[in-house]
């Protein structure tokens, strides 16, 4: 079983009120599974950790794709313009 380490603790704010989210854990006895989530004490809003991880993976994939486009297309174009300036 995982120890209660919240990798996003002190890094997430409630989308409704802006308060820093606290970590929480739920254990489902029938399935013997642990669920980690982040909650707002003001709004009673819960966000499951797996949903946060999924969104972060999507964001990182978008950043990497953008970086590849810049490196493969824009940088060579800029470099060629710098190497061959029009007078």
Quote the DSSP letter at residue 19: P
The pLDDT of residue 72: 83
Q: How far is C-alpha 68 from the geometric centre of its chain's CA atoms?
A: 19
pLDDT for 9 beyond 90: no
pLDDT, greater one: 84 or 46 = 46
d(CA 56, CA 40): 20
- The domain locations on the chain are 22-83
Residues 57-83 pLDDT 10s: 999 999 988 888 888 887 788 788 778
Residue 7 has pLDDT above 90, yes or no: no
pLDDT in tens, 26-47: 889 999 888 899 999 999 889 9
Q: How far apart are CA 51 and CA 15, in angstroms?
A: 14
Q: Does position 85 have pLDDT exceeding 80, yes or no? A: no
């Amino acid at each position: 079983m995982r120890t209660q380490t919240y990798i996003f603790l002190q890094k997430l704010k409630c989308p409704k009120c802006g308060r820093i989210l606290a970590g929480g854990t739920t254990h489902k006895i029938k399935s013997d599974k642990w669920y980690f989530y982040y909650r707002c004490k003001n709004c009673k809003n819960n966000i499951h950790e797996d949903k946060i991880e999924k969104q972060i993976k999507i964001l990182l994939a978008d950043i990497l794709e953008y970086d590849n486009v810049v490196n493969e297309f824009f940088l060579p174009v800029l470099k060629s313009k710098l190497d061959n300036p029009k007078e």
